[in-house]
A and B are shown apart, each in its own frame.
Chain A
């Protein structure tokens, strides 16, 4: 079974994303910031990560930079998912190793489309 890690400080967003992703049959884990997410990745590297940008403790950008340095950390498909959607922000996220970028607010159709683009559908 494919595993999906949801990283967002908003429990509501995590719940929403989980509901939208239900039909894909992933196994989910959740983290409320980058540091927690990193801990999860160290023991159990997921197939996909939905990643918020602005979070306390460790933000999404710092997380992905750390992640991509971990052994096997190049494996997960990372979908940045944030309200930060200025061109330079998108470029920074992609430059740091993201595979796709979702501009909040998003819906099920957008999420499905992005999953398909990174081959996780």
Chain B
């Protein structure tokens, strides 16, 4: 690939999805974009980039962005954050929200749905939340992956990554030897919609917990800082933010600080919370 094409593509992705395409990731371009080039009748990747530069259709732009995102995920990914969510976060919020008995949770990079469904299962199985109004919003930039998420259908391989067998039996229906489907009462707890973290997301309203895991790693520091700032404005002052294992706010944003003893969990700085 010629370097002007690489630079154009890197610029396009950074502006439109936040993805920082470094030269060491260049090997991904060919394998991921060749099928898109073929689909749109552009021949090869050079032809595709040329089209992107000159007369890009909405569909072409979207397909390129989606092809370059990484959707890797699993149920209860990394386990620990979900333990922390159950004990620490829900423990506190059950008390703090006892009067209004409602919770709003936002899963900001939901991918194929494993993360929001894992959260929904924990909420459903928590006796402390019986009779509560739970609002669980799951968003992603990638409309095709959201379409998969909405079906709630997973392969035998996918349901065996992270999902304890007892929960699989309780909350899924086996459709056939290779397909399991999340039961309707769990599926109906999650509302999926498309949302680009680079754009305005005030329509999300105010939430109590944000899961924004394993997406900021693809962004540069300035973009991370911007997204974290916007997230903090959506989060109630006593709310919680989960980031992925390789992500941090340190040196990126002062809108959050790590919650002591709870890896991956972040809260608004104490002074702000107290002032509120």
Contacts and interface: CB of A to CB of B under 8 A. Distances in A.
A16 interface: no
Contacts of B74: 113
Contact of A106 (B160, B162, B169): B160
A110 B160 contact: yes
A94 B166 contact: yes
Contacts of A86: 174
Interface stretch (A29-37, A42-50, A95-103): A95-103
B160 A102 contact: yes
Contact of A100 (B161, B164, B177): B164
Given A94-B165, A100-B165, A116-B79, A87 B160 contact: no
A12 B108 CA distance: 43
Interface in A91-121: 91, 94, 100-103, 106-107, 109-110, 113-114, 116-117
B164 A103 contact: no
B157 interface: yes
B97 interface: no
Interface of A: 85-87, 90-91, 94, 100-103, 106-107, 109-110, 113-114, 116-117
11 contacts: A85-B156, A86-B174, A87-B169, A87-B174, A90-B165, A90-B169, A100-B165, A102-B160, A109-B161, A110-B161, A113-B160
Interface in B147-170: 156-157, 160-162, 164-166, 169
A110 B164 CA distance: 11
Interface in B49-77: 74
B156 A117 contact: no
Given A103-B156, A117-B164, 11 more contacts: A86-B174, A90-B165, A94-B166, A94-B169, A100-B165, A101-B165, A103-B160, A110-B161, A113-B160, A113-B161, A117-B79
Contact of A114 (B160, B166, B174): B160
A109 B157 CA distance: 9
Nearest to B166: A94
Contact of A91 (B79, B157, B161, B169): B169
A85 B174 CA distance: 10
Given A87-B174, A116-B79, A110 B166 contact: no
A100 B161 CA distance: 12
Contacts of A103: 156, 160
Contacts of A94: 165-166, 169
Question: Which interface residue of A91, A100, A103, A116 has the most chain B CB atoms within 10 A?
Answer: A103
Interface pairs A-B: 9 shortest CB-CB: A101-B165, A110-B160, A113-B161, A117-B164, A100-B165, A113-B162, A103-B156, A87-B174, A90-B169
